[in-house]
Every structure is written in C-alpha cells, then in structure tokens.
Amino acid sequence: MSATIIDRELEAKHRAVWALGDYRAVADDLVLPLGSELVAAAGIQSGDRVLDVAAGTGSAAFAAAALGARVIASDLCPELLEHGRAAAAARGADVEFREANAEALPFADGEFDAVISSIGVMFAPHHQRAADELIRVCRPGGTVAVLSWTPSGFIGQMFATMKPYLPAPPPGVQPAPLWGDEAHVRTLFGDRVDGIGRRRGALAVGRFSDGAAFRDYFKANYGPIVSAYQSIDDENAAALDAELAALGDRALADSPTMQWEYLVLTARRR
C-alpha cells in the first residue's frame, strides 16, 4: 500500500466537485465509447486482474468485465461509485467498486495484470504521485493504459477557457489535460516502463445543436463546470457563459458533430 501523505482538504474538495451535477449522464450520453476504446488498447483478456483507476461510473470497468476480466473499479467519489454499483447490478456485471484516492491506492504492489484509467486519473491533482501509483500496483510485465483529453483538443480548450475565471490552484497541482501530452506522460512513467504505444483519436459528439446547448448541458451536469460557476459572481458568470458558447460554436462551425481529441497511451511495466 502507498505511503503517500494525502492533503485531506484537497481530497475532500475534489470528491465534492465530482459529486456535483450528474456525471452519470455525461458518462452515458457522451463518453461511454471511450471505456471500450481503452480496454481494447490495453489488450485485456479473460482472467486478467484489472484495476480501473478514477473509474467514475465504470464504463471501462464494464468493458473489461465483459471480456471475462476480474475487475475492481476505484474512485474517490462515493456518489459515482453508487451509480456504478447500481449499473453493475442492472447489467449483471461482475465488477467490484472501491473508494480510493488515485494518489494512494489501497492495493498491494504488483497486484494487477492491467491498470487502466479512462479520462479519470488525469484529474488527480499531483500527476507524479498518481503515475507512481499506477505503476506500483501493476505487476512486472503488466500493462498500464491511460486515455486522456489532450491540451489542444476541445475539452482541453474548455478547461483553458475556464482557467481565467478560477482561483489559482494550490502549489504543486497540475492541469489535467497535461495527461494528454505524450512527452509529459513519458516523463511521469520514466524508465519504469517500456513497450510504449500511443494513438490519438477523437470522440464524435453530435448531441449539441449549438454552443449554447453544449454550455447549458455542461453547466447542469459536469462537476468541474458546476463548481466553477458556483465560485464566481454574476458578471464573470455571464462572461464565461459567452466564452463557452463561443467555444462550442467554433467546434460546430464546419460540422454538426464535435470532435473531442484524446490520447491513448499504453506501456508495459518493467
């Protein structure tokens, strides 16, 4: 088990952010295909011991379980875990849901054949701590695989749009979309892995008629944006409204379908 000392105040803040809105809707309506994409990239097979880190409501965990893997889905947010357990019961899926901080996973060294995270671990505040944990709980020769939004893609641009309206993060906290930068992740993993594979893809999102529809959906459902609006005054909220709608309109300028870029990176633990 990790000996990392956790900032409990920061942990509580992150837990509360992801309980806001309705991430289950986001997972089911928009990002569900990413779980299967990551599981395929990781080469997960029947019988593998798999840990899905920052699993949310479990889309990647369910995809791995469908292949016959033995899966634990861990997340910091109890509300998301409850949604995942309910979904598992409805599906008849054999997935265990456990509350856990990605920076201090309550699992033994080398416990899993594959350690995966789909747009999840990228939101852990301290990237090196989280990367160290992904590698620690993966067995030598096992697979670590992460799928993350890229800094230059649509979701990365969304977070960049929000940044001027938010308080500065605590010292040492890094921007989530850096996990979508291959060089950054290679540095985090260092010489503890080899056989690195990578590919960029784009999630096609055709749900929104215009930028305002995108903005309003995320304001209602996506925890980080709900939290952002709670922290600013009416004048700044109106300005952020306009910027997010404009971002959405630009993404829809040439097509009714948005393309949200992501990076999949896989590696083998040495």
Give residue-wise pLDDT tens across range 50-85.
Answer: 999 999 999 999 999 999 999 999 999 999 999 999
Distance between CA atoms of residues 72 and 52, nearest Å: 6
Strands, sheet with 49-52, edge to edge from the N-terminal-most edge strand: 95-99, 70-75, 49-52, 112-118, 138-149, 258-269, 193-205
Give residue-wise pLDDT tens across range 121-133.
Answer: 999 999 999 999 9
Decide if 63 is inside a domain.
yes
Give residue-wise pLDDT tens across range 84-126.
Answer: 999 999 999 999 999 999 999 999 999 999 999 999 999 999 9
Distance between CA atoms of residues 178 and 148, nearest Å: 9
Decide if 119 is inside a domain.
yes
Decide if 76 is inside a domain.
yes
Distance between CA atoms of residues 77 and 120, nearest Å: 12
Decide if 221 is inside a domain.
no
Query: The CATH number of the domain where 180 resides is what?
Result: 3.40.50.150
Distance between CA atoms of residues 166 and 60, nearest Å: 30
If you write DSSP's letter for every residue of 227-268 in order, what string do you get?
A: HHHHTS-HHHHHHHHHHHHHHHHHHTSS-SSEEEEEEEEEEE
Domain boundaries, position 25: 8-148+169-202+261-269
Give residue-wise pLDDT tens across range 151-185.
Answer: 999 999 999 999 999 999 999 999 999 999 999 99
Residue with tokens 């990551």, as numbered in its chain: 38
Decide if 14 is inside a domain.
yes
Tokens for 70? 């033995």
pLDDT at residue 219 tops 60:
yes
In degrees and rounded to multiples of 5, residue 98 shows phi and psi of: -130, 135
Distance between CA atoms of residues 148 and 156, nearest Å: 10
Decide if 246 is inside a domain.
no
Decide if 83 is inside a domain.
yes
Closest by CA to 228, choosing from 12, 15, 17, 26, is 17
Which pLDDT score is estimated for 129? 98
Threshold 0.85, pTM exceeds: yes
Decide if 113 is inside a domain.
yes
Say how many domains are in the chain: 1
Q: What is the arithmetic mean of pLDDT over 226-230?
A: 97
